[in-house]
Structure 1
Amino acid sequence: GGPLHLMFRRILTEESVRELGFVHWPFVQDALERGFGEAADGACFRTVVYVASWVTISDRFKKAQEQLRAEKA
């Protein structure tokens, strides 16, 4: 995998995907395999991008909530 594939693999761990609560991990795992390479499937690549975006947004909201709680304490 190239740099982009490695970045998505780092973001899309089983734990991070399951924490979303509405995305099926095996579906994302398959998309990570089929969305890259010479015979890449465009739909799989888009799935990877969307889910990685959701994971990133979710992480940022968690950090913002933690910061607000710390400021109130």
Structure 2
Amino acid sequence: MEMHHHGVGIWGSWQLAPEILLPLLLLTYLYLRLPSALVTNRQRIFFIAGIVSALLVIITPIGARAMDYFSLHMVQHIT
């Protein structure tokens, strides 16, 4: 059976949703502005790692194809 794929493929399915990006960027900015007495550098690094991993599974093709592929859906749960 031959399959025809139309469009730009999986790598063209980035979802740059402002309703996701803007709150996360604002939250990150506010968190990084907290005084050093309240937040250590290690906590900042882990916070940024968490934000980046969340963005990776939301805005990349992983998020776009998660409903089609169970394995990608499970990757979303890991992060």
Tell me if TM exceeds 0.5: no
Q: State the TM-score, normalized to the length of structure 1.
A: 0.39
By percentage of residues, which structure has more helix? 1
Larger radius of gyration: 2
